[in-house]
Amino acid sequence: MNRFRPCLLIHHRHLHQLQNAGPLCSQLKSRSVIRFSGPDTIKFLQGLLSNDVRRFGESPHEDNSPVVPHMYAALLTPQGRFLYDFFLYRQSRPEEKLDRNGSVEILADVDGSVLDELLATLKKYRLRSKVDIENVAEDFYCWQRYGRGLSEKTPSVEEPVAASVGWRGGDDRSGNSASHGNDVGWQWFKDPRLDCLGFRGIFPSGTTPPLVESDKETDEEKYLLWRLEKGVAEGSTEIPKGEAIPLEYNFAGLNAISFDKGCYVGQELIARAHHGVIRKRLLPLKFLDNNGKEVERKVTAGSEVINTASGKKTGSVTTAFGFCGMGVLRLEAAFEGSDSLTILGQEDIKVEAIRAEWWPSEWFRDQQHTAVA
């Protein structure tokens, strides 16, 4: 089965429009929603996922902003390889109180292409845990807000009340009414991975999320292009299921892993890798001809990247979209020999590896240590 998204055409005009556009908004039709509920919900997810889910068990805030920030997490194989990613939300209300059993309701934004398989996997792990797992994809949709103007705003400008914008995200101050559509309690949250990715939210189907009217609603392919520029993969289509090593896909930098939470499925490999040097990472890529001009529809996901100077494999393309893509490459070869990177069997196509602006400085030190070694 082909686990990769097919290569799609993106013209220079589309890229220019995206780079210069104000806030954009896309319904993420590739994503679905499942719901966890029951007294063992927190315990169940805490033992499975890579992030610390215990904060969802905290009582709602007593102030006027009963917001529990959402989080990004992954379910791994016992060997520490990636399986599925989750954006987890607890939509608390002012009147919500934890019952004696600590029962909460958590919604998860997940990859829709593997929904049935994911549900079966979760139910396999459930055993006797008192947690209900439901497919509510027909009831809720996933949305993303992003764009140059949005990501460059500071929290104080974009979020006058809290780190979320939406319905009942806080006091409805003057000039903030556009972000408060009604009282159903659904809202935008800062993307838990990176500020530059914008805002994300789950909203009831059949409703228009707040701020969409003032933004430019566009298709999901623009959001994919936005992520390609940042080097951020999402879902089991772009992150090879059962194969990808989370730290090579930058999950630590994307706030998807807690290194203090204790045991969870696949934790041992993650802990070992965390204390070592990551020699390969997911990078943004561009595909060029010999004259430095971008080439369209010539590279497909799964293509091998080689260094023509050494004749050695440097890595592989994981996602291809027009002349842009992402790939997991050896850092030393990707940046030291960038003029020599080509596609195996298509040596007339050059590969430009790009350092993502959001990378922590210590990742560059790791690269230098790798080069010395």
Domain membership of residue 178 (yes or no) is no
Domain membership of residue 336 (yes or no) is yes
Cα dist. 40→61, 77, 104, 256, 362 in Å?
A: 22, 22, 9, 22, 38
Sequence-distant (6+) residues with CB within 8 A of 10 are 221, 225, 296, 321, 322, 323, 324
Same domain, 89 and 229: yes
Predicted confidence (pLDDT) per residue in 282-303, tens digit: 999 999 998 889 998 899 999 9
Can you list the residues of the chain whose pLDDT is less than 70?
1-21, 59-67, 91-102, 151-185, 214-215, 337-338, 365-373
CATH of the domain at 28: 3.30.1360.120
Same domain, 203 and 274: no
Domain membership of residue 46 (yes or no) is yes
C-beta of residue 215 within 8 angstroms of C-beta of residue 24: yes
Same domain, 95 and 195: yes
User: For residue 175, how many other CB atoms are within 10 A of its CB?
Assistant: 8
**pLDDT score recorded for residue 102:** 57
- pTM given for the model: 0.85
C-beta of residue 10 within 8 angstroms of C-beta of residue 204: no
**pLDDT score recorded for residue 163:** 44
Which structural domain range is residue 287 located in?
247-364
C-beta of residue 11 within 8 angstroms of C-beta of residue 201: no
CATH of the domain at 299: 2.40.30.160
User: Cα(307)–Cα(38) distance, rounded to whole angstroms?
Assistant: 53
**pLDDT score recorded for residue 197:** 95
C-beta of residue 37 within 8 angstroms of C-beta of residue 103: yes
How many structural domains are present in the chain?
2
**pLDDT score recorded for residue 14:** 54
Same domain, 196 and 270: no
Amino acid identity of 299?
Answer: V
User: Cα(299)–Cα(284) distance, rounded to whole angstroms?
Assistant: 14
**pLDDT score recorded for residue 38:** 94
Domain membership of residue 270 (yes or no) is yes
**pLDDT score recorded for residue 161:** 35
pLDDT over 90, % of the chain: 60
Same domain, 262 and 346: yes
Same domain, 76 and 218: yes
